Amino acid sequence: MRTDTFTYPFVEKHRFITRRLLLFAICLSTNSLLAQEIALQSDTARTGDGKRIYNTTRLQGVPPKIDGKLNENCWASEGYWSGNYRQYMPKENAEPTEKTEIKVLYDDQNIYVAIRAHESDMNKIDSRIGRRDDFAGDIVGVCFDSYFDHRTGFEFDLTAAGSKIDLVLLNDTWDTNWNAVWQGKVGREDSAWVAEMEIPLSQLRYGKKEEQTWGMHSWRWINRNQEEDQWNLMPRDNPGNLYSIGEIHGIRGISKSRKIELLPYTVAGLSTYEKELGNPYATGSDKIFSLGLDGKVGISSDFTLDFTINPDFGQVEADPSVLNLTAFEMFFEEKRPFFLEGKNIFDFDFGEDLLFYSRRIGHAPMRTPNVLENEFADNIENTTILSAMKLTGKTKNGWSVGIMESITAKEQAEISSDDETR
């Protein structure tokens, strides 16, 4: 009797705990299925004309550490992963050979993007070290048309080796000369390589609205297959790239972009060469010293003011060597950072007529002095840009506005002879 007395309550308590555990497991299973159903419904959302919609959510917890490891809680439990990419090439709208997924979160300062590129054979990942903006090996990326004007998209890509690519996507081409300030790292999991990005809102341009609607494009390049997969397929016969990308909804309550970037610099150099007898300008060495400042101020989320004082473009890629035997001006691609911001606003397509050509600012003087025998000239290679200012942006009514002003120095060439210097 004593044994039964103590055993019976224990058995009943054990059964009670078992029921509670069973009920808890059922609740977890139900919540998991509900979350999967919500994610599935979100991943199938489309606009009236069939474009995919990604419904992002505000980051609730601690921002992720950008290290290429998707082990933070936000990547596991916040928002949802969107997949179902389709082949753009080699076979349009075909099933991709590998699965790709993307997740996008945001807070008051940044957009956070994670892309998981699944791989059936990790040894086949094409990971090539390259310079910035080199399309080398396997690549994943995301692009935002934050103005939502179907004209300009800001794209951020990472190669499997971790090299950055950032560009401005236009309807008929793209421009990799645009460089933004952002973070991105890649890493590897058991059966995928991943890309993790932190994109400051200060690098994007968007209107003053409580709830933002942006264009969104995501893509993956599998180099061994020469295959491009896209989150929202852009048909090859599309009227323009940015008219055919998907949309991202749910960005709410972000403040105006008040970015201020200042980049002071100093340049010092010494070049040596063979001294030329009798030439006072070829002494065997030339010294260089210069100070300057580049700056960017976010007047609002719509308008940006760029300015430069005594700019130096020594780090800009040199133009190809061209021998011009004609009487016409040679045209070169603009690569100087100051002139690239908002460049599309100043582009006007009138066939063969070019209304505005920024490379004329600071170009070499249009003429060089004639020198006589026994005379030497110290010629000017480029006109000095003393300062420049540019205001670019878009009004609430959709008008693109661009104002540019530059001040260049009056250049003089010095000619020296045995008798005089003029």
Distance from the Cα of residue 81 to its chain's centroid: 22
C-alpha 338/C-alpha 387 separation (Å) is: 11
Q: Write out pLDDT tens, residues 374-404.
A: 888 888 888 889 999 999 887 777 788 889 9
Rounded Cα distance between 267 and 262, Å, is 16
Nearest residue to 248 (alpha-carbon basis) of 219, 202, 215: 215
pLDDT, position 20: 53
Q: What is the pTM of this model?
A: 0.69
CA-to-CA separations, 10 to 5, 52, 86, 272, in angstroms, rounded: 9, 57, 59, 95
The full length of the chain comes to: 422
CB of 92 closer than 8 Å to CB of 235: yes
Inter-residue contact 374 to 418 (CB < 8 Å):
yes
| pLDDT higher than threshold 60 for residue 8 | no
Question: What pLDDT, on a 0 to 100 scale, did the predictor assign at position 301?
Answer: 64
pLDDT digits (tens, 9 = 90+) for 307-363: 999 887 766 667 777 888 887 878 887 878 788 777 778 877 666 677 788 888 888
Inter-residue contact 232 to 51 (CB < 8 Å): yes
Half-sphere exposure of 96 (CA within 13 A, CB side): 25
What average pLDDT does range 242-268 have in this prediction? 86
Mean pLDDT in residue range 210-236: 95
Q: State the residue for tokens 């101020």.
A: 297
- Which pair of structure tokens corresponds to residue 13? 């308590």
Percent of the chain with pLDDT over 70: 87
Beta carbons of 182 and 143 less than 8 angstroms apart: no
Q: Which residue has the tokens 């099933």?
A: 95
Residue 169 has pLDDT above 50, yes or no: yes
Measured CA to CA, the distance from residue 88 to residue 185 in angstroms comes to 25
Strand pairing of 385-394 and 303-309?
A: antiparallel
At 389, is the secondary structure helix, strand, or coil? strand
Distance of CA 387 to the CA centre of its chain: 27
Amino acid (1-letter code) at residue 142:
V
Q: How far apart are the C-alpha atoms of 146 and 207, rounded to whole Å?
A: 8
Query: Which tokens is 311 given?
Result: 């700019």
pLDDT exceeds cutoff 50 at 65: yes
pLDDT at 40: 54
Residue 163 pLDDT greater than 50, yes or no: yes
When pLDDT is averaged across residues 200-218 and rounded to a whole number, the result is 90
Distance of CA 150 to the CA centre of its chain: 17
Map residue 216 onto helix, strand or coil: strand
Comparing 1-15, 219-233, 280-294, 358-372, which segment has the lowest mean pLDDT?
1-15
Question: What letter would DSSP give residue 262?
Answer: E
Beta-carbon count within 10 A of 280 CB = 12
| pLDDT at residue 34 greater than cutoff 60 | no
Q: What was the pLDDT predicted at 155?
A: 97
Classify the C-alpha dihedral 65-76-233-127 as positive or negative. Answer: positive
pLDDT at 74: 95
